[in-house]
Amino acid sequence: MQKFSKLNVGALAVVFLSHALIGAPLEAQEAAPETYALEADVVYGQGVVTKEGKEVSRDLWMDIYHPTEATATATPRPAVVLTFGGAFHRGSPRLTFQSGGAQDTSMGNYCRRFAARGYTCFAIDYRLTPEGPVPSGEGYQADWIAPESLLPLLPQANHIRGTMGLPPLDFSIPEQEKTMVDGVISAAEDLRKAVLHIRESAATYNVDPNRIVLGGFSAGAVTSWNVAHGMGVPVSGVFLLSGTDAGFDVNKAVTASSDRPPILMFMGQYDLAGALSSVPLLIAHYEEVGVEHEFAWVPGFGHFYPAGAASLGGDAVSMSVEGRITEFLERVIGTGQ
């Protein structure tokens, strides 16, 4: 939120452990065929990136997890669109992260779980900051972009840049601030493009265009927020796994009259400092403008936690992260059967 400009950003710095990326081969994504069928590498659009100093277009793709024939139905299914994390610098829907003995659940793995429950699930690829993405400017008001809202993300982004052999970004240098802004906004443009493609191709995918939920982890959670609540793309709900508002000015994008969808938010007990500081402000804003929201802690974990980890909600009920998401999906878009 813009209120971060009032905070001492230096206090948000934290010592990060090295994060290992674990590849999940596409063959592994095809396990348990009795619960889903995988349609891999489906192109949903094009995105402009910078290669050798020139602007070029590249394919944007997604993996689609269809419920199997055993649960096939002629009735269009509700859909879930998932976006991976990686500080806007790395990652894939087919990769999982491991840090300090904790491992998260990849977006592909979540999709397998949701497809088993009867939801058609889309795990998308998007442009990353090191590619030099070039935003199109479509789908939002440029004056809603709030570069200062990205400051809480900077320590983690610079940590990841260090592991990639890239120099840190300094927001006091306009060109470097723009590098981060372009990465975050381009990711949002790509998710928006995926949602519009899915809606336009709803008959092909046998999904209900009016029953779509967005979700993601970390940078993917931020991107999901930017599309559902920042841009206001019409969806039925959004859930954030260790993410918050960053990219668009929440005070302009989310008002009492903006009609934003319900949101479910998770945070690890020892999560990243920027997220731990920003989410209370976001919740306070939702309470002020009347957005339906739910928050749950994941006790004992930091930024990375699996789908089976226990989550504790304000209702004093403990359930797994996956179970709480499923309950949310059933409430906002119905069951997948």
Distance, CA of 35 to CA of 18 (rounded, Å)? 34
Work out whether the CA dihedral 125, 129, 134, 140 comes out positive or negative.
Answer: positive
- Tell me which of 2-11, 155-164, 216-225, 261-270 is least confident: 2-11
Distance, CA of 2 to CA of 281 (rounded, Å)? 10
- Tell me which of 53-67, 86-100, 162-176 is least confident: 86-100
pLDDT at 226: 98
Residues in the chain: 337
The pLDDT-based confidence of 100 (bands split at 50, 70, 90) is low
Q: In this predicted model, what pLDDT tens digit does every residue of 190-210 receive, in sequence order?
A: 999 999 999 999 999 999 999
> Span 134-150, mean pLDDT?
96
Q: DSSP secondary-structure letter at 106?
A: -
Distance, CA of 79 to CA of 196 (rounded, Å)? 13
pLDDT at 139: 95
> Span 278-290, mean pLDDT?
97
Q: DSSP secondary-structure letter at 54?
A: E
**Residues near 257 by beta carbon (within 8 Å), at least 6 away in sequence:** none
Bridge partners, residue 39, by sequence: 64
3-state secondary structure of 120: strand
Domains in the chain, ordered, with CATH? 2-333 (3.40.50.1820)
The per-residue DSSP string of 291-325 comes to --EEEEEETT--S---TTSEEEETTS-EEEHHHHH
The tokens of 25 are what? 């081969």
The pLDDT-based confidence of 78 (bands split at 50, 70, 90) is very high
> Span 300-329, mean pLDDT?
95
**Residues near 299 by beta carbon (within 8 Å), at least 6 away in sequence:** 269, 310, 312
**Residues near 234 by beta carbon (within 8 Å), at least 6 away in sequence:** none
Position with higher pLDDT, 13 vs 248: 248
Distance, CA of 189 to CA of 197 (rounded, Å)? 12
Distance, CA of 195 to CA of 233 (rounded, Å)? 8
> Span 32-58, mean pLDDT?
91
**Residues near 295 by beta carbon (within 8 Å), at least 6 away in sequence:** 264, 265, 266, 267, 279, 283, 313, 314
Is the separation of the CB atoms in 176 and 169 below 8 Å? yes
- Tell me which of 52-66, 92-106, 152-166, 307-321 is least confident: 92-106
Q: Using CB atoms within 10 A of its CB, is residue 299 exposed (0-12), middle (13-18) or buried (19+)? A: middle
**pLDDT at position 216 over 90:** yes
Distance, CA of 126 to CA of 187 (rounded, Å)? 6
Is the separation of the CB atoms in 315 and 264 below 8 Å? no
**pLDDT at position 141 over 50:** yes
pLDDT at 95: 84
- Tell me which of 85-94, 97-106, 119-128, 307-316 is least confident: 97-106
Number of H-type helices and E-type strands within the chain: 9, 13
> Span 10-19, mean pLDDT?
36
The pLDDT-based confidence of 69 (bands split at 50, 70, 90) is low
Distance, CA of 86 to CA of 3 (rounded, Å)? 24
